Chains A and B, each alone.
Chain A
Amino acid sequence: MTRKSCPLPTWISHLMEYASTDKSPKDASQRHNQHGEPEKAKGLISPTRYGNPVRRQRLLWGLAALLVVTVVVAIFSGRYPAPYLMSPRLLAEDPLARQIVLNLRLPRILTAVLLGMTLAGAGTVFQMIFRNPLVEPGFLGVSQGAAFGAALSIVAWNAGRQNASGPGIQVSAATFGFLGLLLSSTLARRIRYGGWTLRLVLAGIAVSALFSAGVGILKYVADPLTQLPELVFWMLGALWSVTWSKALSILPVTVTALVLLLLLRWRLNLLALDDATAFSLGAAPARERMVLLIAAVAAVSVVVSVSGIVGWIGLIVPHLARRLLGADAQGSLPGALLIGGAFAVFCDTLARTMLPGEIPLGILASLIGASIFIALMLVQPRSLGHNITG
């Protein structure tokens, strides 16, 4: 990727658009008239950058290769027999190494791939159907609901006791994640104020706040020696407890949801238009958005029930993908899945390799994700300036 040919960080422009209150085309035209000819903007755009199917294909293959390389490196990374990397030959020679790779690393890597793909895919879907580049998959009360479910399971039913992060937590987290969505959408339907999106966002904020208060209460009453550490660790997000049975338990729902999203990826563009236009083009916006929403939330609740809360992937990866592949979900959705998968595997591998103890995945993902976000904002001040005027 050559920096010079990059026209605009589109995701920054989205943020700018949303930061300013008036987004009417009228203003866009006025800005143009004031600041001169649109030809200036045209000069910055390399005509082959977006909308070129060949380039898009090539980029997607590149990202797929990146994912494969990340997974392969992750398989051979770890702290056995010595920190960081092990020789592939050891797989043939050392039965313990084989055991570790097959029963510990592989399910964990698979889960990381699913986690990253689900969060990034759901993030792309959420941002497009809510027509807002700042939403992330947890915002409808799903993340906080799942956290509450997990906390309740750890504290009230002691599910975590006998079997650390056992199926009790998983079921409870997934259930409450969905309950969060249900509460938000019911509430949104009753609010008599603003448009549908605004109502959903408001309801999501309120429901999330309720659940996080609930989590606070549970933290307060939790046994500080046994329950609290587990609860905190779950909230920070981690894949250390993943086994084959857990990995396989999330497989059906996540794969079904991801396939559905992929199949509907061009349709997603239509749903990113305003209601009247989408309707005029033969879509049933409310119904189609609901189908995608349910698929995305189902997948997110299921992965979150295993991983705990992992932030930033669902927010930043869709932006990265759009920036690389353009706004058209035909390219940006598969791109987001691939980047998300690779990013989650990368973070999780660091999390289990860097220190003798485990670093919570959520912390690493936020740390690295936020750093990338800041770096991207800082590298292109010129394009950013252009974007404000254009």
Chain B
Amino acid sequence: MTPIPITLSNIHFRYEGREVSVFEGLSLEIPPGSVTAILGPNGAGKSTLLHLILGLLTPSDGDVLLAQRPHRSYSRRELGRLVGLVAQEEVIPFSFTVQEYVLLGRAPYLNLLESPRPEDFIIARDALARVGAAEMATRPLQTLSGGERQLVLLARVLAQEPRILLLDEPTAHLDLGNKGRVLSLVKQQVATGVTAIFTTHEPDLAAALADYVVLMRAGQALAAGLLEDVFTAENLSRTYDVPIRVMRVENHRIVLVE
């Protein structure tokens, strides 16, 4: 599979009914087949950026291109096979079982009237096994702990087999063990040619997982590029508006607030 590049050029976006624009001329290149971390304070526009790449939101001006093509050139189902999303704090009001929920990841491969076929069950079971949650298949979602739940959300997106993986704060509220599991799953996906983008409030996580980093503040990309180049104390301090130190311990970067 050739990995898919994502290009945002001169994006303008404003939520309907709001005075202030989120983006006024944002341009970004997301390199294909890599992990890109989007960092920035609350309200910087991180989730909005993911929704623009997803196609849920349409910029008032400028283009978002997936593999050099705009969203409107894809059908809804094609786009569903192309881009997967694990939303931030997804609220699921009905107590689906884990298996029923993971099967929903197969929706882009089924037409309106179809229900999952035997092969979809196999893919869903496989996705659950990959996140290490095979034995949870028959449990209702509402009996899961936060960590288990996040793994199940990931299994759903794995069953979707998207080429672009969008993760909105994938490790928020997770313990260290589950965090590690999520990290290695994302890395595995990228190794198979997936382009992954995630937002996070944890610079350490970005340092551990990302190849590329985008630092955002108030709708602007303060810095974007390779982790080594962008992940500096100066850039991070500017992003969060507090003095920040970046320490190197062996091969790891550790971020400290002064």
Contact = CB atoms under 8 A, between A and B. Distances in A.
B89 A51 contact: no
A159 interface: no
Contacts of A327: 94-97, 100, 140
B223 to A, nearest CB: 27
A43 to B, nearest CB: 10
Contact of A328 (B17, B85, B97, B113): B97
B116 to A, nearest CB: 7
A282 B145 contact: no
Given A24-B89, A24-B91, A327-B100, A8 B112 contact: no
Given A26-B146, A263-B113, A282-B77, A270 B104 contact: yes
Given A51-B100, A282-B77, A328-B100, A274 B87 contact: yes
Interface in A70-123: none
Contact of B89 (A25, A269, A322): A25
A134 to B, nearest CB: 10
A41 B113 CA distance: 35
Contacts of A277: 85, 87, 90
A30 B172 CA distance: 12
A32 B145 contact: yes
A52 B77 CA distance: 28
B148 A38 contact: yes
B173 A279 contact: no
Interface in B131-160: 137-140, 142-150, 160
Given A29-B149, A273-B90, A275-B56, A282 B79 contact: yes
Interface in B94-119: 94-97, 99-100, 104-105, 107-108, 110, 112-116
Given A38-B144, A279-B55, A281-B107, A274 B116 contact: no
B84 interface: yes
A48 interface: yes
Contacts of A41: 143
Nearest to B115: A266
Interface string A239-273: 00000000000000000000000011111011011
Interface residues of A, number: 58
A281 B160 contact: yes
A315 to B, nearest CB: 15
Interface stretch (A9-17, A179-187, A223-231, A374-382): A9-17
B146 A28 contact: yes
A28 B116 contact: no
Given A24-B89, A48-B138, A266 B95 contact: no
A66 to B, nearest CB: 24
B228 to A, nearest CB: 32
B149 A326 contact: no
Contact of B113 (A25, A28, A38, A264): A264
A284 interface: yes
Nearest to A44: B143
Nearest to A45: B139
B80 interface: yes
A326 B142 contact: no
A280 to B, nearest CB: 4
A322 B95 CA distance: 9
B76 interface: yes
Contacts, number: 167
Contact of B107 (A17, A45, A283): A283
A192 B113 CA distance: 35
A10 B91 contact: no
A314 interface: no
Given A26-B172, A38-B148, A274-B91, A10 B140 contact: yes
A276 B160 contact: no
B92 interface: yes
A334 to B, nearest CB: 12
Contacts of A204: none
Interface in B169-225: 172-173
A133 interface: yes
A272 B100 contact: no
Nearest to B146: A29
Interface of B: 17, 51, 54-56, 76-81, 83-85, 87, 89-97, 99-100, 104-105, 107-108, 110, 112-116, 137-140, 142-150, 160, 166, 172-173
> Which 5 residue pairs across A and B have the least CB separation, nearest first?
A29-B146, A282-B80, A282-B108, A280-B85, A266-B115
23 contacts: A10-B142, A17-B142, A24-B91, A45-B140, A50-B97, A133-B93, A264-B112, A267-B107, A274-B87, A274-B90, A275-B56, A279-B54, A280-B54, A281-B80, A281-B105, A281-B107, A282-B81, A282-B107, A282-B108, A283-B107, A327-B140, A387-B142, A390-B142
Given A38-B143, A272-B92, 13 more contacts: A7-B140, A8-B142, A10-B95, A13-B142, A24-B89, A25-B173, A28-B145, A33-B146, A131-B93, A133-B93, A275-B56, A281-B105, A326-B96
